Chain A
Amino acid sequence: MSKIVLTVDDSRTMRDMLRLALTDASFTVVQAVDGVHGLEVLNDSSPDVIITDINMPNMDGFGFIEGVRRSQRHGAVPILVLTTESDQDKKLRARSAGATGWIVKPFDPIKLIDAVRRVAA
């Protein structure tokens, strides 16, 4: 069975690109538009890996990651942060919130898939 990836991003463009790259690599993709939506779909989607943006309305990536980590059932799902932030602060903050790793935008589909495989058990 193909692995499920939950992508959380407010940008339609980015969601479409993630979907394209991930489905090409035979992942099943579930999408959410912000952190709140992401937590809502978490239970029903039971993802194997989560990819989240940082800057989002309603609930940003940090809040979302913390929310996932608090979850009983999905607290241990690897989370990759997708961000254009190249600065170290954002990555450290994401990691202290519980991010497993990161992908720097603009992403190369091969690197993206590689990063997902790297954290997917």
Chain B
Amino acid sequence: MDPMEAIRATFFQECEELLGDLEMGLLSLQDGNGDHETVNAVFRAVHSVKGGAGAFGLEDLVRFAHVFETTLDDVRSGKLAVDPDIVAVLLRAADALTDHVTAAKGGPPVDTVNAALIVSDLQQFTGVEALMEPADDGDDISFVPQMLALDLDETPQAILTPDNDWTIRFKPAAALYRNANDAILLIRELDRLGTTRVVVDQEVVPSLPDKVVTEPVLTWSVQLCADAAIGESQIRDVFEFVQGDCELHVFAGSVGAEEVASFDDPVLASPNAVGAESPEQLLDRLMREANVAAETETAAPTHRPVQPLAQSDVTSVTGNRPEALVQTTIRVDLERVDRLIDLVGELVINQAMLAQRVVEAGLARSSTIALGLDDLEQLTREIQDSVMAIRAQPVKSVFQRMPRLVREVAAATGKKVRLVTEGEGTEVDKTVIERLSDPITHMIRNAIDHGLESPDRRVAAGKAEEGTVRLSAQHRSGRIVIEVADDGRGIDRERVRAIAVDRGIVAADAILSDEEVDNLIFAPGFSTAEAISDISGRGVGMDVVKRSIQALGGRIVITSRPGEGSVFTLSLPLTLAVLDGMVVSVGDHTLVVPINVIVESLQPKAIDVRRLGPEGTVLAVRGSHVPLIDVAPSLGWASGNEGPAGGVTLLVESELGGLAALRVDAIQGQRQVVIKSLEQNYRQVEGVAAATILGDGRVALILDVDGLIASRKRTTARPLLQAQAS
């Protein structure tokens, strides 16, 4: 890739982070949690966006960022107090800045009317209209800061003599050397403008042995025979960095001694000042004097703190740490990481095969080969964890897009909403993160649009006017659990039911539990909005959300209390690549059950298995009854001949609702398996989440426990309920 293109990509990536920081900062200012450093960070974010944008000639972005930055600068300097009004405008400006960045990236164009409104709102605080003049005129002049020649003399530019000769006299002050400028550098620069003859005023050079020099004393005169295009401003530009740190006089033409004598500085008023001693002669004299000085062991102080032998330093606290030079992060192509993950997956399979061969060869567990293999397994697992960790990223990148969404939806629905986020640092695989954004966006829209009541209804219900939407993430037993909770009215079950009946999703006389009614909103073709609103009804129903979560190996559960609000809980695997599984036999087949859903395994007595209704079977486990599912017939295979009580029963916990028991023929063992997508290689199969390759090279299916339980509910519950209803 062209290096500038790569930097451009970096810029947009950085913009995203900066815009995230900007929003976070503004939100904490809004909440009253911000301090001066927050304001600084907010300023820096906008400032950095502007800086980078300038480098790429993104003029609209620079212009907008500049106005934004100007207002923030006033906040930073304390000229403007942080109050809710200004923070509200700043938040809108942050959104508009995001739009500008998106547009610069090649996204949809900026809503210019809105941007202009925000600009005028920002300027209302700063009162700086002039800054936006070019934009206001619709003029195309961009704001591009230029290097300015400062402090140009009031005297008109001298008429150039045909020879273009100039005389420059300057006397450095101590400050010039303190800032690491140097007369020699300035003379070198002048020399670039033409040919120079340099002389130093000899009279004022002190003799080294008898003088302690604390201030620079030399005055330099440069006769410059400049190139044709050179004028006074170019000459003064040479002294740009040392303005005020030296006395400077620039004259057109060769200046004679008499004119030099008229300098206002008495030290310079020596008729011998110019041309008396060349630098070489002066140096020679000083060297001689220095030798004398050295012999008499008198130290000569220097202007510049040059102490080459000094080993200690201001920063010696950090010691000699060569690693400080090493960058602590590197950027790696995702493809390379994925290739590594694939290879480690193969390694895991290979290691499992090897282990199986060892068992087949009849080697004892204590044999050195078996022990070595145990170590290998340990190592393989660690490698796998480490490789997976490379792909893990905090969910912050998704979460930080939500405040804006909340503001927009709140504005569109006329509701007052506060978004609380928790656990932004929770890490999950990059692929999972990328595919989380849409479902979360939809759930938050849904929570505000359908969940929260309007402010007056909330007040009437005795609630705070402002509704709260809580978005949180946490790790729970090897999965990431994301919750979107609102404190709104909860699901209106009557209405949901009525709609579902109306759309033919359930029979009019079906008896449904509250939970079942709530879950109807995930049914395809269901939408509770009577008039499809602009907010939630974008052609995407909750069924799509559910499907996309399921495609990630995740589950979505809703719990709702009338008048108190609803909670949508997403549970997703941390990675889509490996799984800890229990390998079981069902008939002639080998299946893998994800270990994280297994609570325990039992061998139930026949008396504990009871029939319920025509097809349902339940298992009594320590006094309570859980549905018993025979796995073989559920997947369309012949049931084992041992009957429902035979074989082994796995007690599993489902996200959908409580415990269930799965009957299998035998447990083979526990192992880590590499997930191979069934959908990508074949098609989706009910009750099967994915496939894997076992140690012996056979393909085994990974059981979708929730899918299995759900399908049993559908096949058995309905006839049962209908039987009760009739």
Contact = CB atoms under 8 A, between A and B. Distances in A.
Do A and B form a real pair? yes
Interface of A: 10-14, 16-17, 20, 30-31, 37, 39-45, 55-57, 67, 69-79, 84-86, 88, 95, 98-107, 111, 118-119, 121
A73 B310 contact: yes
B47 interface: yes
The contact size tier of chain B is 35 or more
Nearest to A58: B37
Contacts of A72: 305, 307, 310, 312-314
Contacts of A103: 147
Contacts of A78: 180-181
Contacts of B43: 55
B146 A104 contact: yes
Interface of B: 3-4, 6-7, 10-11, 13-14, 40-41, 43-44, 47-48, 50-52, 54-55, 57, 144-148, 150, 178-182, 184-185, 189, 240-241, 245, 304-307, 310, 312-316, 318, 320-322, 324-325, 327
Q: Which of A20, A41, A56, A99 has the most CB of B within 10 A?
A: A41
B314 A84 contact: no
A37 B327 CA distance: 11
29 contacts: A10-B44, A11-B14, A12-B10, A12-B13, A20-B3, A20-B7, A30-B325, A37-B324, A42-B315, A43-B313, A43-B315, A43-B320, A55-B40, A55-B44, A55-B47, A57-B41, A72-B307, A72-B314, A73-B313, A76-B180, A79-B179, A84-B50, A86-B146, A100-B180, A101-B241, A104-B146, A105-B145, A118-B185, A118-B189
B316 A104 contact: no
Contact of B314 (A70, A111, A119): A70
Nearest to B150: A88
Residue of A11, A75, A86, A121 with most chain B CB atoms under a 10 A cut-off: A11
Given A10-B48, A78-B180, A118-B189, A104 B324 contact: no
A73 B316 CA distance: 10
A5 to B, nearest CB: 13
A13 B10 contact: yes
Nearest to B48: A11
Contacts of A85: 145
Contact of A17 (B55, B181, B321, B322): B55
B240 A101 contact: yes
Which 4 residue pairs are nearest across A and B when measured between Cβ atoms? A106-B54, A101-B241, A13-B11, A13-B52
B28 to A, nearest CB: 15
Nearest to B316: A43
Contacts of A17: 7, 55
Nearest to A98: B179
Nearest to A12: B14
Contacts of A75: 305
Nearest to B188: A118
B315 A67 contact: yes
Contacts of B13: 12
Nearest to B43: A55
A89 to B, nearest CB: 11
Candidate in B4, B43, B50, B55 with the most chain A CB atoms within 10 angstroms: B55
B305 A119 contact: no
A95 B179 contact: yes
A10 B18 CA distance: 11
B241 to A, nearest CB: 4
Given A40-B315, A88-B150, 15 more contacts: A13-B52, A16-B6, A16-B10, A40-B318, A43-B320, A55-B43, A71-B314, A71-B315, A72-B312, A72-B313, A73-B307, A74-B313, A95-B241, A101-B240, A107-B55
A14 B44 CA distance: 13
A105 B49 CA distance: 12
A57 B314 contact: no
A70 to B, nearest CB: 5
Given A11-B48, A40-B324, A119 B241 contact: yes
Nearest to B56: A106
Nearest to A30: B325
B182 A121 contact: yes
